[in-house]
Each structure stands twice: as C-alpha cells, then as structure tokens.
Structure 1
Amino acid sequence: MTLWRGKHPLILASQSRARQTLLAGAGIDFEAVPAEIDERAVQQSSRLSAPGDVAALLAREKALSVSSRQPGKFVIGADQTLALGKRLFTKPDGREQAAEQLRALAGHRHELYSAVAVAFDDKILFASVAIARMTMRRLGETEIDAYLNAAGEAVTSSVGAYQLEGLGVHLFEHIEGDHFTILGLPLLQLLSFLRSERLLAV
C-alpha cells in the first residue's frame, strides 16, 4: 500500500539498491533515474574538502541533473562520504584497495556523512546532511581475508568496503547514528520535508 500523495511518482536520482529499498519500505511510489554527472570532477572543481560539504554538493548536483529532465516532479539526490580524520574514502577499485581501506579503518572510529537534496523544476527546495559515527573492530589479516572472501564483489560497491546491512555488520563494535543515515539516505529528515509539502498520507 502506498502512502505517496504526489501527482507523479517521486524520482530518485540514484541506482543505489539500499536507497531504493528504504523508499519502497516507507511506502513511497518512486522511479529510479540515474544522475549523469562526473562526481569526482564536480568535487575537484568545487575545491571543497570538508566531507559533509562534499556530500551535500553531490546530492544537490544529482538532484538538479535529473530535475532538468523531469519537469513537474520532485527529485531526490543523495550522496555519502566517509572520513577517517582528514582522509576521505571513495569506493575501492578492487580487492586490494578494499583490504587497504579495511586496514586503515580497523580499530578506529570514522564518520559517514549522508546528504539528501530535493529539487523541483531545477530548484533545490530542501537539503540536509546527517552523520553516523562508526567504530570498527581491530582486524587481523586473517579476518580481513575471510571477510573479503565471503563478501566478494560487494566490497567494491560501497565506500569503506562494507555494507552494514550485510556481512559488514561483523566488522563493527560500536555505532552512533540511525540506520537510514548509515545506508546513505537521511530518511527521517526527508520524510519530514515531504510531509510538509503534503505529499504523504501519514
């Protein structure tokens, strides 16, 4: 049963399965339309370095990119960055880089910045950034190898080489922040905005 009351389905400017699952679980009618932007080029040209600012910029750019092709529809852009101190992480290119990221994160607390932006007819109506703090267990090479063997190619689909909703949960000893932020979509903040626009039944 849907709780969506918009004239058209919501547009999600992302192919992320985690984000799609969150919206579907919340009873929202949506269509996934990929944003055609070069994320690294956008980040470099902006000269932004603060992880929250980078995530917010990319979320806005994704929303605007798709909004220009979807007139009269609400479009969600979302992005997530991972920071360990001043170091920003990107998705690992393969197993070797995934292992390197896990070695760097093991035994330390890092931060996930999840940003969301909503555009309508080429204008940003709403934007928010949420933070989750994740403390990874100390991991030896044997444990890292076992995890990488079990997780397979999935380690290259997420920054930090883990997916908390899957096998990545075994890597952590403490988490501060809500589940939605960790999965890459500040859902509570987004729902509050959509409710303010009278787009939800509840």
Structure 2
Amino acid sequence: MIFSHSASTPEHNEPARLILGSGSSARKQLLTQAGLSFCVHTAQVDEDILKLEGMKQGLSPSAVALSLAEAKATAVAALHEGCIIGADQMLSCEGDCYDKPAGLAEARDQLKALRGRTHTLHTAVALYMDGAVTWQHVTQSHLRMRFFSDAFLDAYLETEGEHCLHSVGAYRLEGPGLQLFEKIDGDFFSILGLPLLPLLQALREREVIFS
C-alpha cells in the first residue's frame, strides 16, 4: 500500500526520501502533524511468526517489539530506497502479552483482563539507511485501566466498533479509549505508535530533516 505525503516542507531536506514502513493511520497522522514529507510502503512480514520466535527465544516484550520494527524496516528497504521507518508495539501485563484483537469478542476479553490493572506498552522504532539499521529506540509506557462497569464496556465496544481492532489492547487514546484509564505514565506520542521526539532527533542527526 502506498500513501503519499509528498509536498515539500521547510522541515524536510530535499531530495531525502522518507518512507514509513507501516500502514498505521495513527503513525501517518503523527508524521503529518510534525510537518514531514513522506510516503508509505506497508511492510510485508509475518508478525505472528516473528513474535512467536522471539518469545521462544525468551526475548523481553521490548526486544520483540524492536525485532519487529527492524524486520519491517528491512523488508521495505529490500524494495525501496530511502530512509525507512519501521515501528511496532507490544503490550504486556503481569507476564502476559497481548496482540491486536481478532474480533469484538476478543476485544471484550482483553479489556476485561486489563480492567483494574496496570499494563506496559513497549513502542519500538528503527531507521534503515544506507544498507543497514542505523538507529533504534524503545519506549515503555505504563497505563492503568480503571475498574469500568460492564455497561460502560458494552457502550464503548458499540461506539468504537472495528476501530478497537486496530490497536493492541483494543483502545485508542485519541478516541473514546481515553475513558478506559485512571492513570497514564509515559510519552503520549509513543502510546499512539511512535516515540516521535527521539525519532525526529535521529532524523536531524542523519540530515534527513533540517537541524
């Protein structure tokens, strides 16, 4: 899939080509709001297999997220030249890891499991340039869900519908999912999908955007 933001901006060094290797609408929006010119090429990798292999090797959720981010950036780099951003998230809670729910029934089960508990979002990003991964970063954010009622859960799932299937944990903080929480400790951009400030600094250091 290709999604282009090609207009030149003062923040973007031309003719540098910035590529987002993710189809996430939240990540697209974050880069767009930061004023960057970029295009999107969704990475074709088997995330389930990579996650399973990482867990079998005993990798931490942060390490698994980072391996997925690197794999996505590398996969896109095999087909397109430029500075490629790969990103991924893992959610862990007291030893258990959660993926994006496959359906609304699974979303309900995940939210019930996370209700009244604190979970961790591991947000990883990697940059691929000049034939190698040249930078990587992982941010951990801790979020505590309130003990919401079943009536609220029903209303939330009805309101969000399939939107809640696009994120680990079945929520979007930029939407009604914010009402699920009583405390959030972490970087808001990372929770949405990209540790944006460290990423922008890495792009400046590599002269992809102006310093």
Give the TM-score, by structure 2 length.
0.92
Structure-to-structure mapping, 1:173-184, within 5 angstroms: 173-184=182-193
- Whether the 8 Å contact between 1:82 and 1:111 is mirrored in structure 2 is yes
| Structure 1 unmatched ranges of 5 or more | none
- Whether the 8 Å contact between 1:48 and 1:54 is mirrored in structure 2 is no
Q: 1:41 is matched with which residue?
A: 49
Q: 1:97 is matched with which residue?
A: 106
Q: 1:17 is matched with which residue?
A: 25
1:52 aligns with 2:62: yes
Whole-Å Cα distance in 2 between the matches of residues 156 and 197 of structure 1? 35
Alpha-carbon distance change, 21 to 77 in structure 1, aligned in 2, over 3 angstroms = same
Q: 1:125 is matched with which residue?
A: 134
Whole-Å Cα distance in 2 between the matches of residues 38 and 84 of structure 1? 23
Q: 1:87 is matched with which residue?
A: 96
Whole-Å Cα distance in 2 between the matches of residues 120 and 201 of structure 1? 17
1:29 aligns with 2:37: yes
Give SS of 1:70's match. coil
Q: 1:163 is matched with which residue?
A: 172
Whole-Å Cα distance in 2 between the matches of residues 200 and 10 of structure 1? 9
Give the TM-score, by structure 1 length.
0.95
Listed one character per residue, the Cα deviations across residues 157-193 of structure 1 (whole Å, up to 9, x for unaligned) are 1111100001101101110111111011111111111
1:190 aligns with 2:190: no
Letter in 1 for 2:203: L
Percent identity, please: 40
Instruction: Select the residue among 151, 155, 172 that pairs with 1:146.
Output: 155
Instruction: Select the residue among 59, 66, 69 that pairs with 2:79.
Output: 69
Whole-Å Cα distance in 2 between the matches of residues 48 and 69 of structure 1? 31
Give SS of 2:110's match. helix
- What's the offset of the Cα at 1:140? 2.0
- What's the offset of the Cα at 1:24? 0.7
Whole-Å Cα distance in 2 between the matches of residues 201 and 8 of structure 1? 11
Whole-Å Cα distance in 1 between the matches of residues 84 and 58 of structure 2? 24
| Structure 2 unmatched ranges of 5 or more | 1-8
